[in-house]
Amino acid sequence: MIMPAHARSTAAAIVSAMIVAACGGAPAASTSTATPTPTATPTATATTTTTSAGAWTVTDKSKATIRVREQLVGVSLPSDAVLTASGANGSFELNSDGTFTSGSKITFALTTLSSDERDRDNFIKNDTLGVRQFPTAEFVPTKTSGLSLPLATSGTFTFTLTGNLTIKGKTKEVSFDVTAKRDGGDLTATATANPSWKFGDFGMTAPSVPFRVLSVTDEIRAAIDIVATGPKG
């Protein structure tokens, strides 16, 4: 029996739908193929490599030396009061771009501060520094300048070091002229503050001791000797 044209069309559609359903697929797409749209290539973002070469651990052989010019009673010429602090602690990591990792920090115990005069030491620690409330000085290095990187495994280096120093709860950005020597995993360095500091930079006043000290120059000259161990390569 010859089916009418519209019936043949309907039957074909039903059969097609049954076949698709049996195969679990969707109806076939049109044989007309659209030109594919090119996929945009992601643009690479330039980044600065700041990989650290490893951490350096500060040893207890490190020390900080402070010099202040004073005029003592009964002495014709001024002289330097020299005070030294030990009890160093901390670590630092230098990135390949000359900056330091966020966890880098060096501390000194101000309770260890001493000179050749016990009375001076007690006055500086208790009255000037307030060590009972602020027992440590903290230095957080942030960047270097003039240092060739990556650091050679041995040799002597000179560069400028910048960071944030906190004394008596007050923080100030300071810089040091540094001469360092590396021998594999051993590092020694002397960092001299440049410029020098004022007492007011850290919320202090120049010491005044009646009957003993006539005057103290408002200038703190600091040098930090660092001894650290770290990566050998």
Taking the chain (233 residues) in runs of 10, the rounded mean pLDDT of each run is 44 40 42 50 44 86 97 90 96 96 97 93 94 97 96 96 98 98 98 98 88 88 98 88
CA-based angle 32:37:40, to the nearest 5?
165
- Compute, in degrees rounded to 10, the torsion defined by CA atoms 163, 167, 169, 170: -60
pLDDT attached to residue 115: 95
> Is the Cα dihedral 232, 182, 178, 128 positive or negative?
positive
Extract the tokens encoding 26: 């969707």
Answer for the pair 141, 104: CB distance below 8 angstroms, yes or no: yes
User: Reduced to 3 states, what is the DSSP secondary structure of residue 23?
Assistant: helix
pLDDT attached to residue 10: 42
Extract the tokens encoding 146: 């003039």
Cα–Cα distance measured from residue 220 to residue 166, given in angstroms and rounded to the nearest whole number? 14
